Structure 1
Amino acid sequence: MRLEEDYIRAGFFWLPDNPDKKIPGILTIKNGGEIELEIVGLFRSDKEELLGNNSYDRIAGDIEKDGLVTLDKCFYTKKSIAFGGISKSKIHVGYVLSGVAYEPGEDVLFDRFSFSTDCLNEWMSVTGIKIDQDFDQGTACIEYTRPAPICYSFKNGMSLEINFEATIPGSSWTEEVKISQRVRLTLRSAALKPLSEFIATTHKITNFLCFAIDTVVSIKDVTATCKEITFEISDGMHHPKPIKVFYRSIPFSDKESAQNFHLMLFTHKTIEENAGEIFNKWLEAYEAIAPAMSLYFSTKTGAQRYLDGKFLALAQGLETYHRRSSHEMLMDEATYSELAARLMENCPPEHADWLQGKLRYGNEISLSTRLKRVVEPFKKHLGTKTEIKRLIRDIVTTRNYLTHYSEELKDVSCKGPELLALCSKMEVIFQLHFLQVIGFTETEVDQVVNNSFSIKGKLAPQPS
């Protein structure tokens, strides 16, 4: 989660089941969503804290500027028990819900979850600003019409609404006119849903944007509402109360991403005719290939800090992707079962355990074969037969070396620039398959490859 500046609030905090004992503290949320509560004193007696556990499901508070606040999934990172003196302790916080204090055990339910991300305005490429200039007459007319919201229904019972917000001058007399438009995404549900479901869907949508924009984008400015939690806006009129939500979200990069549309795989305009279907296919893909997707995105978000780790994640990811999307085996199950039984019958008893271990995965196809299968649909983009053969050989050899560090493979495995180029091509293979998963036709995939400067750079010839 991206914050423009650290969120630091002083206040008083208490356990919801013991509201009479309030202790002072400072709540700090850093860019990225790391949350810490520093307290002066203890929520329970010294003896109870000494003998009790080091975690709390929920802490409530009343902080400066924002009022009531709920802190969930909390545990001590530093507990100081002074036995009568002044103690200062630190608590890690999982989630902060600013604007409301929930009761002990009360479910956190919402029907609306709104957020924005890096590069979202550029990805949408929709503006309501129109400028009409007449240089001869020295006149300019600036007109703003808010674009209509765009809504897509999801099969999980939620809908995604794309809204366009703008700030415009509030006075007719001004020496400067500035209109700023920004895009926000809102997940809506007719029925109240747990916070965890909204966060899970938001994570998948954010990963979709990372994939489409081809860089790490982070969520920011998250608010949620529940139709049962309202505030009075005028006599007898109530409106759902906005609740600010803070948590450590992924993906995240310290520096805010800025991506030119030429470097994106595709923009919203590319998919606007069937975007609803594409979003649903992306969400459904998590049911089948979630492990492969996680491995791919771990290489994009900086989780793999070293090139060797990035390569191994991509190699495992491609193997996992094929395993999850194909049931191909060396031979049909009946034939293999019969063969395995005959081998076990004729195996010396002292080697039975060893043979049984080998037979457990004996019908699996090799990594080389799996790579051939995942490369096949896009071989025209990956080079000649010779280049593709070398690509597969390099992946297999380097994976085996980095997994087992066999001396005979050391000199033939890829390193340095060769390994970097190999990772780039493996990343492209992932991206092309993801395009296929969300419904891009072969022609549309070709257009993405031809129009994306990013993919062209990744497909540049490997060093000799």
Structure 2
Amino acid sequence: MKKIVEDRGYFWWREQPVPDDCYAPDDCVTGVFSIDENGSAHLELDAYMPNNGSRTPAVLSGQQDARSIQGILKEGNRRVLLLDAVSNGGTFNTGGISYDRFSATNCLVGSAEFPRRKRSLQFNSLAVDLIGYEEWLRLGSIYISRTKSKIVAKHSKPKDHSYRLSDATLAVRHFISGPYLGKHRRHDLSLRESVTLKFRPKQSMSLEQVRSELHYLQDLFVLLTDTHHLLDWPTVSLSGSKEQYTLYFLRGAHSSEPPSWQDCPTNFVLLRATFGEIFATWRAKRERFGAGFYSYLGTRRGMALYAENRFANLVWGLEAFHRTKQSDAKTSATSAGQPTVAKAEQRTNIPLPEVKRKPRNGEPSLRQRLHAIFHDLPLDFRDNSVDNFSKECADRRNDIFHFGGERKQDGRMDFILELDRKSDALTYLYHLVILREIGVDDDTIRRWVRSSFRLRHALANVGLLRKDVLGPSASNIVDA
């Protein structure tokens, strides 16, 4: 696996005292430190670390409790701290070299020395450079003019934005990298505009809370850009200190290409006034809706899923979303008598399709749940198409649940192709539902529908939209 950091250095247990005016204790051990592109940290020492005051190698102790290992690297005197190092092999040889190996899933790297106090670390801020999201941000404040005899580049720093949340502050800050201040001559020139998103809570965060906030940010950008492009490694600051360190942690290495402006459902210019509110709503509702949100996001990690799994996850997630939505509205109470379809209709405030079977325990059927969710979207659906599509999805879910696939067990390929078409449409519909739930306005949603051919094609392919929304040359594609 590709290494993003690899260097030699001195290493020691974090609890070991470091003498004043020294950068490492006397019994530190040399070794090679590396970080894989997935964020996992590895340490291979040239000897073995003292284990609880003894000279027994960690590989022989059998102890697997995570401990912190501190170090200083040869290149640039960078400081590293493996926060949860565990033994990962090594060699004990009475007639040769013995050494330890360690791995960690969380690691800090920075230029400043870590605090010498040994209590657990707390963090007061995290910042992420939005590398790859320049087109979603609509950056473009570098103005260039060129004539036959000269080139002039001008940059005016855009306004920063700060959003006050109930428990934190979220800031969007603009930067420009280029030559140092002053007038000078050189043979080349490079300018780069960038944006950093900084989150500062009112109370200090633990490492687990930092990871959770980063996870919220990553998932939010999946929704806002329709792309699973990994955020850059975050920079964190420790409580009681102004020093900053880069946090590396184990995560999936898969990352989509950076989002392009024409494929994004939203952009920062459209959301600038409400971005803080959307972020706060997303943080609150992601916890409350649970599977109603992350069942969709689980299909957007870049991992291949079987057609049945993908379809079932989407339908189950939408059902969970509707249950939570109904619970929030306090409309799931049933009467003492036999529940009816009319009572289910009152609970959703949306006309529900007639069904032969009455809802059990006063709850709407899956078909009715899907119909209620999709009917509320600001789209120009074909007449009766939402009801037909909802019924077909409910039927296919039941086939998978009760029969493991197609009910008749013939024509499996046609069944898989049908599931793929329905899953493509469900993916877009589910995405639109969550965007609305976290506060993205209907005008922005309609703008995305108008600009995205793939979205319109997916909906038209299952009969939800008219074929003419694809253009005069697209009818044969829909019919295929």
TM-score bracket relative to the smaller structure: 0.7 to 0.9
- Give the TM-score normalised by the residue count of structure 1: 0.80
- 1:95 touches 1:245 (CA, 8 Å); kept in 2? yes
1:213 aligns with 2:219: no
Paired letter, 1:32: N
Counterparts of 1:27-176 in structure 2, within 5 Å, are 27-43=33-49, 44=51, 45-46=55-56, 50-65=60-75, 66-78=77-89, 80-82=91-93, 85-99=96-110, 100-101=113-114, 106-133=119-146, 135=147, 138-155=149-166, 157-170=167-180, 172-176=184-188
Q: Which has the higher contact order (CA 8 A, sep 6+)?
A: 1
* 1:8 equivalent in structure 2: 6
The yes-or-no answer on 1:405 pairing with 2:403 is yes
Structure 1 residues 329 and 177: CA distance shift in structure 2, 3 A: closer
Structure 1 residue 331: Cα displacement? 7.8
- Rate the CA distance shift 1:39–1:375 in 2: closer, same or farther, 3 A: same
Go from structure 1 to structure 2 and tell me whether the alpha carbon gap of 1:41 and 1:277 turns closer, same or farther (over 3 Å shift): same
- AA in 1 matched with 2:296: Y
Gaps of 5+ in 1: 230-239, 339-360
User: Percent of counterpart pairs with the same letter?
Assistant: 18
2:15 to 14, 17, 24: 17
Q: In the alignment, is residue 450 of structure 1 matched against residue 450 of structure 2?
A: yes
Distance, in Å, in 1 between the alignment partners of 2:309 and 2:398 is 13
How much does 1:89 deviate?
4.4
Equivalent position SS for 1:24: strand
CA shift, 1:266, in A, is: 0.7
TM-score normalised by the chain length of structure 2? 0.78
Which stretch shows the higher mean deviation, 276-285 or 265-274?
276-285
Relative distance call for 1:131 and 1:67 in structure 2 (3 A) is: closer
Counterparts in 2 of 1:399 and 1:30: CA distance versus 1, 3 Å: same
Query: Residues of 1 paired with 2:102 and 2:381: CA distance?
Result: 51
Q: CA deviation at 1:214?
A: 0.6
Q: CA RMSD in A?
A: 3.3
Residues 16, 104 of structure 1: CA spacing in aligned structure 2 closer, same or farther, 3 A cutoff?
farther
Deviation readout 1:211-270 (Å, 9 max, x if unpaired):
1111112121422223623xxxxxxxxxx22212111246x524x523221111010111
Amino acid at match of 2:417: P
In 2, the alpha carbon distance for the partners of 1:126 and 1:47 equals 53
Distance 1:147 1:460 in 2: 41
Task: Judge conservation of contact 1:401–1:409 (CA < 8 Å) in 2.
Answer: no
The structure with the greater share of residues assigned to strand is 1
Aligned length: 424
Distance 1:410 1:6 in 2: 49
Query: CA deviation digits over 1:116-162, x for unaligned, max 9?
Result: 245321111133312344x5x7544321122232111222x221211
For the 8 Å contact 2:125–2:199, the answer to whether it is kept is yes
1:13–1:25 Cα contact (<8 Å) kept = yes
Q: 1:388 deviation in Å?
A: 2.9
After TM superposition, the structure 1 = structure 2 runs for residues 64-463 of structure 1, keeping only pairs within 5 Å, are 64-65=74-75, 66-78=77-89, 80-82=91-93, 85-99=96-110, 100-101=113-114, 106-133=119-146, 135=147, 138-155=149-166, 157-170=167-180, 172-226=184-238, 228-229=240-241, 240-249=242-251, 253-254=254-255, 257-327=257-327, 332-333=333-334, 335=336, 364-378=363-377, 380-385=379-384, 387-405=385-403, 408-411=407-410, 415-462=415-462
Deviations 1:268-309 (A, max 9, x none): 111122222222222221131132222211111124543333
